[in-house]
Amino acid sequence: MGVERSKILYEKAKACMPGGVSSPVRAYRAVGGVPRFISRGEGAYIFDVDGNRYIDYVMSYGPLILGHLHPAVVEAIRAALTRGTSFGAPTDLEIELAELIKEAFPFVDLVRFVNSGTEATMSAVRLARAKTKRDYILKFEGCYHGHSDFFLVKAGSGGLTFNIPSSPGVPEGVTSYTLLAPYNDIEAVGEIFGEDRDFYLANHIFS
């Protein structure tokens, strides 16, 4: 499998972007090799600039649940483009989407749209802190909740110590209110509950 064009583009990218990528997870450091520069996608596959085909198990980290270039999605995008691109104001489509979300998840009372998962978690934590009057949050090791400073504690697979930021540039004081528990360990959560500290869960435990 040749990746010569990806290598050339990677070297070119490193001259104008930190690490040559727009997100650290794309740098291939954990697996080695050169990031594949993708030229197109179709269905369940993506193709790099060297013509190699891959099964896309990532699907843009979730949004592309229908795959690449799904005809219905392409047609909807084309129709939307004839009306404009971005307005910075409310639209009827926002209401339609919010209603669909509420219909799919009956326990959701209200919906707020944001630009990223980071914004969503920051807003949720701020709202929860204001409502509960509790400053501490509990998250599980290895779980990533966006690029906010107080969530960048054991956000990946690195073996770091309790409450130590896992990214340079994050002050320890910022993460001092972030409590950690091993993933899927209900006993560890129970022990933290036994401490004289008010906090709320940042995410659930899954079996």
CATH number at residue 37: 3.90.1150.10
Please tell me the total count of domains within the chain: 2
Main-chain dihedrals φ then ψ at residue 149, nearest 5 degrees: -55, -45
* Statement to judge: residues 77 and 149 lie in one domain: no
Q: What mean pLDDT value characterizes the chain? A: 85
Using the 3D structure, point to which of 46, 61, 85 is the last residue of a domain. 85
Confirm whether 71 is domain-assigned: yes
For residue 33, what are the domain limits? 1-85
Q: What digits encode the pLDDT tens for the residues 47-72? A: 999 999 999 999 998 889 999 999 99
Provide the 8-state DSSP code for 46: E
* Statement to judge: residues 139 and 80 lie in one domain: no
Q: Which residue is associated with the tokens 């013509």?
A: 51
Confirm whether 178 is domain-assigned: yes
Give the residue with greater pLDDT, 74 vs 194. Answer: 74
Q: Any idea which of 29-33, 100-104, 136-140, 194-198 has the lowest mean pLDDT?
A: 194-198
Using the 3D structure, point to which of 85, 118, 153 is the last residue of a domain. 85
Q: What is the pTM (predicted TM-score) of this model?
A: 0.75
Using the 3D structure, point to which of 27, 55, 85 is the last residue of a domain. 85
Q: Residue 143 contacts by C-beta under 8 Å, 6 or more apart in sequence?
A: 155, 183, 202, 203
Provide the 8-state DSSP code for 90: -
